[in-house]
Structure formats: structure tokens, C-alpha cells
Structure 1
Amino acid sequence: MTETESEISAVIVIDMISTYDHEDAEQLLPAARKALPAVVRLLERARERDVPVIYANDNFGQWRSHHGEILEAALAGPHADLVEPIRPDDKSLFVVKARHSIFYETPLSYLLSQLGVGHVVLCGQLTEQCVLYSALDAHIRHLRVTVPVDAVAHIHADLAQAALRMMERNMAAELRTAETARL
């Protein structure tokens, strides 16, 4: 077994628990709907293999909120159909974030070290913002990064393609599909 094959992975779902009531939501919704089946498949694969699933989600400026409240608000919103299929299960972990990167002032680095994770599979939204910045922060923390290209959503397709190229070239991210991402 190679070092890569023995490495512990975690799937991180970025900002998919959403009410979609922000400024660019109408531009994001088509890409989110397109990415949803791949995110569902990725989560199914991870859960079948007991790979940790971590939700890193925006708190929408609600500083007293916790993951249950964020989930409830998203499920009560008009786009609950985008949240229900990927709702966290009882084994899922949850990190609340306030900025673009999943690492910025969150306990994620510590959590990953406690789990022994050396490889993160990043899915969710937005490819050209939160996924990109999170991939960079993972890379500088010496984590191996995989991005399933069919399991990320964007607002601007051209920027998303550029972000994916940057992740692959500058951060050594492995670009795969949800079906072929190594867990």
C-alpha cells in the first residue's frame, strides 16, 4: 500500500446548507442543482466507507446560530430541495465559518489533525470563491486536496474554470469526478 492509499481522507461539504437568499442566488441556483446529484453520490460513497464527512458552512451573520438552526432555516426555505438530499447524518461533523475559507478562524485544522486526516475532498459552493480559498488554505497546511469537478457549483462559469485550473496547477489539487475521487 502506498502512502497516498493509506492516507486518511475527509469529505468537506462547503456552504451547501443554504437558504439561497443572497444577492447572487439566482445565478448560483442552476449550478447548485447541477452539482447536487454528484454531491449526493460523493456523500454516499464516503458514508459507505466510514470516511469522515464535515460540513463547513456559513453562519449567514447569525452569530448565535448553531448547525441545527442553520439546517432548519435552510430546510424551511424555498430551496429545501437542494438541502434535504445532503442533510447531515448523525455521524457528520459541522464547522461554522464566517469567511470564504473553511479554515479561517475555525477549528477545522485542529479537527482534521485529531482525525489524522491528510487528504481533503472539497465539494460544494462556490468554486471560484470558497472552494478556491479553502483549497489554497488546505495546500499551505500540507493537506492533499481533491476537487470533484462535478460536485462544485459556481456563479461565474469562466471564473470557476480558472479557479479549477489554479487549484490543479498551483495547489497540486487532483481534479476528479464524484465517482472517481479517491476516498
Structure 2
Amino acid sequence: MSTLHATRETIKLKPYAAEDRAWLVRQHAELYARDEGFDDSFGPLVESILRDFEAAHDPARERGWIAWDGEARLGSIFCVDGGAREGESLAKLRLFLLLPEARGRGLGQRLLETCMGFARDVGYARMTLWTHESHHAACALYAKNGFSLVSSVPVTSFGVPLVEQHWERAI
């Protein structure tokens, strides 16, 4: 089934597997280069994050999901341990990605709900994430789901000037 006709019923969220790594690295590198002008340092960072996840994640408290429509991957989201602050355990949302053809049909909301629900179910008290101000749709989704903007800092990363943002919410 084409992703243009995918529905909530046809899209499956499957656990991340090492076989997904090359696809996820390529999609991040290509999309961020095309849409944000990122240099070639971004792909290796994503690969490093994924390799670390594969080698050392705690499956009881950390998980990644890949959205599939048949044999086609459409996106990803990860929940990892973000440490603790002021006695509260933090979940960190990472590697949230939707292919352009999968956007605007509720899949981002579904991925976010899955990630937050998992974090809540395994006992995290708060969820935190890092993004860029230029990701307008993602930032609107975070705000709609109760995240608050904690900080916004101009930086140069991946070869381009950006505004890094830190968002957080109780779960």
C-alpha cells in the first residue's frame, strides 16, 4: 500500500531493530541536509546515538518505534532515560522523524502518544526533548501535547545557525 493511502489501521508501530539503523541514519541525513542545510556531521551523530542505544539501552525503560506501512518505513520515535532531576526521573524523547509524505495525517501524534504512554507506564515523571525552532510543525505538536518551552538558545550546529530549544512536560 502506498504511503499516500496509508491509514491508522494500515500503519504499524514496530519496535526499533538494528536492521532499521541504516534507513534511519540515511533519512535523518538526507532530510536534514535538504530541509535545514545540515552538513555531513549529522548522519554520523544519528548513527552514534543508534549504536549506543543498541549496545546499552535498558529494554524495560527505553524503547524505539518505527512506523511501517506494509514494507515501507515512515518514521521513528525513541524514549530513553534522561536521568533524574530534583528527585524526578526524566524520559528523553529522541529521533522523532516523519517522512514528508507521512506528515499531516496524525501519525506524529500517534508516535508521540505511544512514546509518552510508554514513559508514563514505566514510571518516568517527566519527559524532555531537544529540537530546533525551525521545526514549526513539531514544536506545535509538542505545545499541543502539554510540553512547555524551557529554553531557546542561538547556536551553530551541523554547519548552520540554529536556535536550539529544550521542551519539557510532566507525564
Bin for the TM-score computed over the shorter chain: 0.3 to 0.5
Higher relative contact order (CA 8 A, sep 6+): 1
Q: With the length of structure 1 as denominator, give the TM-score of the two structures.
A: 0.34
Quick check: which one's helix share is greater? Answer: 1
TM-score, with structure 2 as normaliser: 0.36
